[in-house]
Amino acid sequence: MSIRSRSVLVTGGAGFIGSHLVDQLINEGASKVVVVDNFFLGNEHNLDDAKKTSADLEVVRLDASNLSAMQDVVDQHGIETVFDLATIPLPTSLAYPHFTMQTNIGITSAFCEIARRGSIERLVHFSSSEAYGSGRYVPMDEDHPHDALTPYAAAKSAEDHIIRSFVSTFGIDATIVRPFNNYGPRQNPGSYAGIIPIVVQRVLDGEPILIHGDGEQSRDFTFVRDTARFAVQIHDNPECRGKELNVATGVGTSINTLVTKMLEIMGKSNHPVEHIAERPGDVRRHMADVTKLKGFFNDQPEVLNQDALAETIAFYEKVLG
pLDDT at 298 (0 to 100): 87
Please check whether the two domains, 7-182+221-247 and 186-220+251-320, share a CATH topology. Answer: no
pLDDT band at 143 (very low <50, low <70, confident <90, very high): very high
Neighbours of 282 (CB within 10 A): 15
Weakest mean pLDDT among 74-83, 114-123, 176-185, 190-199: 190-199
Going by pLDDT thresholds of 50, 70 and 90, the confidence category of residue 134 is: confident
The residue-averaged pLDDT of 276-290 equals 86
- Residue 278 is classified by DSSP as P
Average pLDDT over residues 94-101: 96
CA 83 to CA 274: how far, in whole Å? 39
Average pLDDT of the segment spanning 101-121? 99
Is a pLDDT exceeding 90 seen at residue 91?
no
Domain boundaries, the chain: 7-182+221-247, 186-220+251-320
pLDDT top residue among 112 and 305: 112
**Cα distance between the two ends of the chain:** 44
Per-residue pLDDT at 124 exceeds 70: yes
CATH number of the domain at 7-182+221-247, out of 3.30.70.1350, 3.30.565.10, 3.40.50.300, 3.40.50.720? 3.40.50.720
How many other C-beta atoms lie within 10 A of the C-beta of residue 68? Answer: 7
Q: Can you give the pLDDT at residue 192?
A: 60
Across 58-72, 226-240, 285-299, least confident range: 285-299
Q: Return the pLDDT at 279.
A: 83
pLDDT of 55 > 80? The answer is no
Confidence at residue 193, expressed as pLDDT on a 0 to 100 scale: 66
If one counts every other C-beta atom within 10 angstroms of the C-beta of residue 318, the result is 10
Mean pLDDT of the chain: 95
% of the chain with per-residue pLDDT over 90: 88
Q: What is the pTM (predicted TM-score) of this model?
A: 0.93
Kindly state the percentage of the chain with pLDDT values over 70: 99
**What does residue 320 show for φ and ψ, rounded to 5 degrees?**
-100, -15
Size (the chain), residues:
321
Q: What is the pLDDT of residues 210-227, one digit of tens each?
A: 999 999 999 999 999 999
pLDDT score at 57: 96
| CATH 3.90.25.10 matches 186-220+251-320 | yes
263 has pLDDT over 70:
yes
CA atoms within 13 A on the CB side of 255: 23
Lowest mean per-residue pLDDT among 30-34, 217-221, 271-275, 310-314: 217-221
178-200 confidence digits (pLDDT tens): 999 999 999 888 756 689 999 99
Q: Residue 38 pLDDT > 60, yes or no?
A: yes
- What's the average model confidence in pLDDT over 3-21? 97
